[in-house]
A and B are shown apart, each in its own frame.
Chain A
Amino acid sequence: MQITKREFLAATAALALAGSIRPANAATAINYWHHFTSQSEMAGLLKIIELFGKAHPGVTVTQESIPNSEYMAKVSSAVVAGGRPDTGMVIAERFADLTAMGALTDITKRVNAWKGRANLPENRWTGMSQDGAVYAVPAYAFVDWMYYRKDYFEEAGLAGPPKTLDEFVTACRKLTNPAKGRYAFGMRGGAGAFKYVIDMIESFGSPIVKNGQAAIDKAAAVEAVSFYSSLFLKEKVVPPSTPNDSYRQIMEGFRTGQTAMIWHHTGSLIEISAALKAGEQFATAPMPAGPKAHIARVAYAGNGIMKDDNVDAAWDWISFWGETDAAIALLEATGYFPASTAALEDRRIKSNPVYQAASKTLEFGRLPNSFVGAAGWSENVVNPAFQSVLTGQLTPVQAVDRMIEGLEAALR
């Protein structure tokens, strides 16, 4: 048989057309960007997708995992150059930037008409709203707390975890023994250090932003930075590698027994429990209170709609995360704290002593600072300025000056 070129082309075109028509007859497909990367996070996500598939057979979800550090770069590129996903994960710290660049769709009407709203009290929505409009459905929360080595504390004759920063320093001195390679506190000085620097500044009584204006109280901030950096510079109760230590390093330090305390949030519980025995080797406690304020963050994370093409299916998907089944699935896989009050009543939380510190923190915890430019200022100004204090290149006064200067520029 001989096929002419024209016949061949026609056949190819027909096949291609047939291929492109087929999906239209099948379920609505939406995609979802998130920054879950660990094995437990992926297991939780896949479980939620499976549950969602059963509840909404007409919608298929394609998930795409983006490393946390790349997430905003990818989203902002998509906003500028096109290629937005239907839906995406939204964490509280990034909410302001995401709404400012117009990455999220206003879903107020749908939220108000949603029955699942009853399980999510008003404070869950604060971090997902702006000027009265809601842009994302809360799904889970990261509650800041402290992990400490119970066995080290007992060994050092300490009755319990420190409740204030004063007690914290006292405990630190007792727990540190450089000869044994042991340090009291795994301070984060590398990427992400800004988080606790800002917490310290607020603990010492200085606000960050008020009514959209820079509001740092210089004296209080200097005091805070001096105190926090003294743990490294003067007290030497943190590892010498502190200026470059970020999440990975402080985790390794704690898991391998180099450090006795670290500050992080509920999200790392599974990882630490895998290395150390809960209740025997390690326990959790609320963050120590500062002289002026008791600061610990409760950061709700949720999901928003980023593209209007399949908005109904997208809504089904993001609201599903707020329902109890999904929250429990995620809790089981990752230990992430549910946003839904219904899920919080689950016995896995009620009966687990480790979670008591988190439940207590929920009573006083604050939302993270959320203003446009917060991420840039935190990472590009606060981080290097604080590192420079640790490495002796700047005094706390100079560092605070830079932070104020940078904050003013960011808000301008």
Chain B
Amino acid sequence: MRRDHMKSVLPRGPITLLGNLSETRYWVYLLLFPSLILLLLVVAYPTLYGFVISVREMRLTRPGLNGWVGMKHYVAMMSDRVFWISLKNTAIWVTAAIAIEVTLGFVAAVALNRNLPGTKLFGVLILLPYFLPNVVAGHMWALLLDPRLGVINDLLVRIGILSTYKAWFADPATALAATILVEAWHGFPFFALLFLAGLKGIPEDLYKAAAVDGAGPVRQFRLITVPMLKTVIAAAVILRVISLVNSPDLLLVLTGGGPGNATQVLSLYAFQTAYREFNFGYAGALSVVMFILLMLFATIYIRLTHVTKE
């Protein structure tokens, strides 16, 4: 009690100093400081380290070879067949998955936005795939599409689309498409959720005005819904592209990049280079290329969609 009393009388207590500090503009920097340190430690440092090892020889199984090699890995990459296949597959994989996810996400969001009876429950159900870890989703689909026991094969044979069970992941013609469908199934709730939030933000009056003006559902969608969701779409696509390019887990579970590199993508290739060949230098270079490609994509995309304006 007495100490408290003293504190309020003496102007120079630590609390008072802190109080005074909070009135100055340094306070903001002080508050940012912890998160800045954290960012530096867990983002900036690993990123820089990645750049550094990409110009070094770093093969765990060859401790003697350590040293600077400059652009060696990048030069080697230019003539690395698997790199080019992976690059092409990454582009196909990301583009196709996003296209499907955006479409499904939109349909789901519009349906959920109707507020019909049962949409609450449906809303939870639709989000379920997203709650599943990629690895779990991968194993589940591996079983669903299994060439021996798969329910999907069974259904397709029963309704006459297939004559015999198909090994979807064993045929290079269908492996990538099959994995894309699984990824899209897993990822579309992300778009549904964001689009739903976006749709809720569009004033009802706009649709009423359009109805009075005589614009049909298609025009309303094109002239109101899409433009009003532009920012949400742009942000969601960027986030999803980044996560798709960076996460090889589903492919690792479903195909391991096979058959014969038919489903090899950059992230999986970098992962395998690092953890199967223990060639961290080359894996680092692959990751740096992914990083640069993603940065380029994000910059160009943001420019094109003008989302930073307004």
Do A and B come into direct contact in the complex, CB within 8 Å? Answer: yes
Using a CB–CB cutoff of 8 Å, the interface residues on chain A facing chain B are: 72-73, 76, 79-80, 96-97, 100-102, 189-191, 239-246, 249, 252-253, 256, 258, 372-373, 375-377, 379-380, 383-391, 393-394, 410
15 A-B pairs, CB-CB below 8 angstroms? A76-B275, A76-B278, A100-B63, A240-B147, A241-B147, A242-B167, A252-B149, A256-B149, A373-B61, A380-B272, A387-B259, A387-B260, A389-B260, A391-B259, A391-B260
Q: How far is the CA of A229 from the CA of B195 in the complex (A)?
A: 49
A66 to chain B: closest CB distance in Å? 12
Q: How far is the CA of A79 from the CA of B278 in the complex (A)?
A: 11
**CB-based contact B258/A383 at 8 Å:** yes
Chain B residues contacting A379 (CB-CB under 8 Å) are 272, 276
**CB-based contact A387/B279 at 8 Å:** no
Chain B residues contacting A96 (CB-CB under 8 Å) are 61
| Given known A76-B278, A387-B259, contact A101–B60 (CB-CB < 8 A) | yes
**CB-based contact A100/B147 at 8 Å:** no
| Given known A97-B61, A388-B261, contact A240–B170 (CB-CB < 8 A) | yes
**CB-based contact B148/A241 at 8 Å:** yes
**CB-based contact B260/A388 at 8 Å:** yes
Chain A residues contacting B277 (CB-CB under 8 Å) are 373, 375-377, 380, 410
Given A80-B280, A189-B170, 14 other A-B contacts at CB below 8 A?
A73-B274, A73-B275, A76-B274, A79-B60, A100-B61, A101-B60, A240-B165, A244-B147, A244-B258, A249-B147, A373-B277, A383-B258, A386-B260, A387-B260
Chain A residues contacting B255 (CB-CB under 8 Å) are 190, 244
Q: Would you call B175 an interface residue if the criterion is a C-beta within 8 Å of the partner chain's C-beta atoms?
A: yes
Chain B residues contacting A244 (CB-CB under 8 Å) are 147, 167, 169-170, 175, 255, 258-259
Q: How far is the CA of A282 from the CA of B60 in the complex (A)?
A: 43
**CB-based contact B276/A80 at 8 Å:** no
**CB-based contact B260/A394 at 8 Å:** yes
B97 to chain A: closest CB distance in Å? 20
Chain B interface, number of residues (Cβ within 8 angstroms): 36
**CB-based contact B264/A384 at 8 Å:** yes
Chain B residues contacting A73 (CB-CB under 8 Å) are 274-275
Chain B residues contacting A380 (CB-CB under 8 Å) are 272-273, 276-277
| Given known A101-B63, A379-B276, A380-B272, contact A243–B170 (CB-CB < 8 A) | yes
**CB-based contact B148/A391 at 8 Å:** no
Q: Would you call B62 an interface residue if the criterion is a C-beta within 8 Å of the partner chain's C-beta atoms?
A: yes
Q: Would you call B189 an interface residue if the criterion is a C-beta within 8 Å of the partner chain's C-beta atoms?
A: no
Partner of B147, one of A239, A246, A375, A377: A239
Closest to B255 in A: A244
Q: How far is the CA of A252 from the CA of B148 in the complex (A)?
A: 8
Chain A residues contacting B256 (CB-CB under 8 Å) are 190-191, 246, 383
B68 to chain A: closest CB distance in Å? 18
Chain B residues contacting A256 (CB-CB under 8 Å) are 148-149
Q: Could you mark each residue 155-174 of chain B with 1 if its beta carbon is under 8 Å from any beta carbon of chain A, else 0?
A: 00000000011110111100
B112 to chain A: closest CB distance in Å? 36
Q: Would you call B262 an interface residue if the criterion is a C-beta within 8 Å of the partner chain's C-beta atoms?
A: yes
Q: How far is the CA of A384 from the CA of B63 in the complex (A)?
A: 27
Q: Would you call B257 an interface residue if the criterion is a C-beta within 8 Å of the partner chain's C-beta atoms?
A: yes
**CB-based contact A249/B148 at 8 Å:** yes
**CB-based contact B167/A240 at 8 Å:** yes
Chain B residues contacting A80 (CB-CB under 8 Å) are 60, 280
**CB-based contact B276/A376 at 8 Å:** yes
**CB-based contact A372/B167 at 8 Å:** no
A391 to chain B: closest CB distance in Å? 5
Chain A residues contacting B261 (CB-CB under 8 Å) are 384, 388
- Considering the complex of A and B, which 7 residue pairs feature the smallest CB-CB distances, nearest first? A376-B277, A241-B167, A388-B260, A241-B147, A387-B259, A100-B61, A73-B275
A128 to chain B: closest CB distance in Å? 17
Q: How far is the CA of A394 from the CA of B259 in the complex (A)?
A: 12
Q: How far is the CA of A72 from the CA of B61 in the complex (A)?
A: 12
Q: How far is the CA of A394 from the CA of B260 in the complex (A)?
A: 9
**CB-based contact B279/A245 at 8 Å:** no
Q: How far is the CA of A366 from the CA of B141 in the complex (A)?
A: 38
Report which residue of A100, A240, A387 has the largest number of chain B beta carbons within 10 angstroms of its beta carbon: A387
Closest to B147 in A: A241
Report which residue of B148, B149, B169, B262 has the largest number of chain A beta carbons within 10 angstroms of its beta carbon: B148
Closest to B264 in A: A384
**CB-based contact B260/A76 at 8 Å:** no
Those of B55-100 within 8 Å (CB) of chain A? 60-63, 82
Chain A residues contacting B258 (CB-CB under 8 Å) are 190-191, 243-244, 383-384, 387
Q: How far is the CA of A379 from the CA of B272 in the complex (A)?
A: 9
Chain A residues contacting B62 (CB-CB under 8 Å) are 100, 372
Closest to B153 in A: A241
| Given known A384-B257, A388-B261, contact A242–B278 (CB-CB < 8 A) | no
Q: How far is the CA of A246 from the CA of B257 in the complex (A)?
A: 13
B175 to chain A: closest CB distance in Å? 7
Q: How far is the CA of A220 from the CA of B259 in the complex (A)?
A: 24
Q: How far is the CA of A373 from the CA of B149 in the complex (A)?
A: 36
Q: How far is the CA of A398 from the CA of B170 in the complex (A)?
A: 20
Q: Could you mark each residue 20-64 of chain B with 1 if its beta carbon is under 8 Å from any beta carbon of chain A, else 0?
A: 000000000000000000000000000000000000000011110
Q: How far is the CA of A256 from the CA of B172 in the complex (A)?
A: 26
| Given known A79-B60, A190-B256, contact A391–B276 (CB-CB < 8 A) | no
| Given known A100-B60, A253-B148, A391-B172, contact A384–B260 (CB-CB < 8 A) | yes
Closest to A376 in B: B277
Q: How far is the CA of A252 from the CA of B149 in the complex (A)?
A: 9
Closest to B58 in A: A80
Partner of A97, one of B169, B172, B278: B278
Closest to B65 in A: A412
Q: How far is the CA of A80 from the CA of B66 in the complex (A)?
A: 13
Chain B residues contacting A383 (CB-CB under 8 Å) are 256, 258
Q: How far is the CA of A252 from the CA of B165 in the complex (A)?
A: 15
Chain B residues contacting A394 (CB-CB under 8 Å) are 260
Chain A residues contacting B280 (CB-CB under 8 Å) are 80
Closest to A245 in B: B170
**CB-based contact B260/A393 at 8 Å:** yes
Q: How far is the CA of A244 from the CA of B275 in the complex (A)?
A: 21
Chain A residues contacting B279 (CB-CB under 8 Å) are 376
| Given known A243-B170, A379-B272, A380-B273, contact A101–B259 (CB-CB < 8 A) | no
Chain A residues contacting B260 (CB-CB under 8 Å) are 243, 384-391, 393-394
Q: How far is the CA of A377 from the CA of B279 in the complex (A)?
A: 12
Those of B127-158 within 8 Å (CB) of chain A? 146-149
